[in-house]
Amino acid sequence: GLVNTREMFKRAINGGYAIPAFNFNNMEQLQAIITASSKLKSPVILQVSKGARNYANQTLLRYMAQGAVEYAKELGCNHPEIALHLDHGDSFELCKSCVDMGFSSVMIDGSSLPYEENIALTKKVVEYAHQFDVTVEGELGVLAGVEDEVVAEESHYTRPEEVIDFTKRTGVDSLAISIGTSHGAYKFKPEQCTRDPKTGVLVPPPLAFDILDDIMKELPGFPIVLHGSSSVPQEYVDMINSTGGKLPDAVGIPEEQLRKAAKSAVCKINIDSDSRLAFTAAVRKVFAENPGEFDPRKYCGPARDLMIELYEHKIKEVLGSDNKL
């Protein structure tokens, strides 16, 4: 069955790699995630956001994820490690509903609340979830940009001086931090970046690795989570823009920095936007080349193939979670 994240994280920290946390909203994304992670023998976290629940229905998503464990075995992965995780839970009731329904892990994101309220809410979720051996991710620090329908008015980095108190008092199993990443395909404004003189492509400022270092000094060996970790591959942006799409100056986190983070106590790296870009790029290409196509399998199939390629690349070349089962 589904597993929680405790053992995955322990091994990932000791082994210097990170577990991929991929969001899914539909069957093709799930098939691609399971195909890639099974082939490469990688543990994987399937993430469901509040938006995904509203789009695809929590019950359907839960059975799809449970079915994915059987699917992985069919694909030749004898001992799959798959967690089903609520991404950015914003209330006790939502987290409880996911725990009650068989999710193996939940996130309670109180990062936009005042510090003491974040602690109280997170602690309440931990106390409930731990009764059922469900692991809990909390968050300190506010990511810039849009976080599940809530637009952060003011982002701020995680304060290293708060992390011991927060993790001790809440009992969370992992901590999401803010060190310069953000959600979506526009992680930095053009004026925050430099421009590659040859290609004109934006080069973003580096993440605040000094803050990550300070956090790890406070919490040696504690599982750290990085949200907003899509790299926004230029080839997908180009495919989209050259087939009538409009994603000007989309920019993500360079993979080199994610590779560096994965070697540290960062043991869960969240990626959603890159999968959306791959899906959209592949669908656009089919329609550009064959405007008469109207069988969804003929455009969702290529989208699935491109997402498999993307997930394999992330697992093998960026997070290093291959051959870890």
- Binding residues for Zn(2+), as ranges, are 88, 109, 139, 183, 227
| Strand partners for 89 | 108
Minimum CB separation of residue 270 from ligand 13P in Å reads 3
Strand, helix or coil for residue 245 = coil
- Interface pick for ligand G3H out of 96, 124, 148, 245 (rule CB under 6 A): 148
Catalytic residue among 87, 173, 272, 274: 87
58 binds, among ligand G3H, ligand 13P, Zn ion, none (CB under 5 to 8 A by kind): none
Measured on CA atoms in the order 241, 242, 243, 244, is the torsion positive or negative? positive
Measured at the alpha carbon of residue 248, what is the angle toward residues 23 and 30, in degrees to the nearest 5? 15
Quote the tokens at residue 130. 């731990």
CA distance 137 to 110: 10
The listed partner (Zn ion, ligand G3H, ligand 13P, none) that binds 229, CB under 5 to 8 Å by sort, is ligand 13P
Residue 282 sits at the vertex; the CA angle it makes with 25 and 146, to the nearest 5 degrees, is 45
At residue 235, φ and ψ (nearest 5 deg) are -65, -35
Cα 262 to Cα 25, 32, 153, distances in angstroms = 25, 22, 29
Indicate whether 39 belongs to the interface with ligand G3H (CB under 6 A): no
Least CB distance to ligand G3H at residue 290 (A): 29
Judge whether 254 and 204 are in contact, CB under 8 Å: yes
Burial of 115 (0-12, 13-18, 19+ CB in 10 A): middle
The yes or no reply on residue 272 touching ligand 13P (CB under 6 A) is: yes
227 binds ligand 13P (CB under 6 A): yes
Quick one: 53 or 227, whose CB is closer to Zn ion?
Answer: 227
229, 257, 280, 321: which one binds ligand 13P (CB under 6 A): 229
39 contacts Zn ion (rule: CB under 5 A) = no
Residue closest to Zn ion (Cβ)? 227
Contact mark string toward ligand 13P, 88..117, x via CB under 6 A: x-----------------------------
Per CB under 6 A, the list member of 41, 62, 85, 183 interacting with ligand 13P is: 183
Closest to ligand G3H by CB, 183 or 268 = 183
Which of the ranges 31-39, 48-56, 65-73, 174-182 carries the binding residues for ligand G3H, by CB under 6 A? 48-56
Q: Which is nearer to ligand 13P, 2 or 310 (CB)?
A: 310
Cα–Cα distances (Å) from 200 to 142, 190, 234, 249, in that order, read 30, 11, 11, 9
User: How many chain residues touch ligand G3H (CB under 6 A)?
Assistant: 10
For position 84 contacting ligand 13P by CB under 6 A, the verdict is: no
Q: Write out the E strands in the chain.
A: 19-23, 44-49, 82-89, 105-108, 135-140, 146-147, 150-151, 174-177, 194-195, 202-203, 224-226, 266-271
Is 87 a residue of the active site?
yes
**DSSP letter for each residue of 160-203:** GGGHHHHHHHH--SEEEE-SS-BSSSB-S-GGGSEE-TTT--EE
Which of 35, 135, 273, 321 is in the footprint of ligand 13P by CB under 6 A? 273
Interface contacts to ligand 13P, rule CB under 6 A: 23, 87-88, 183-184, 227-230, 270-273
Interface contacts to ligand G3H, rule CB under 6 A: 23, 49, 51-52, 87-88, 147-148, 183, 272
Catalytically active residues are: 87
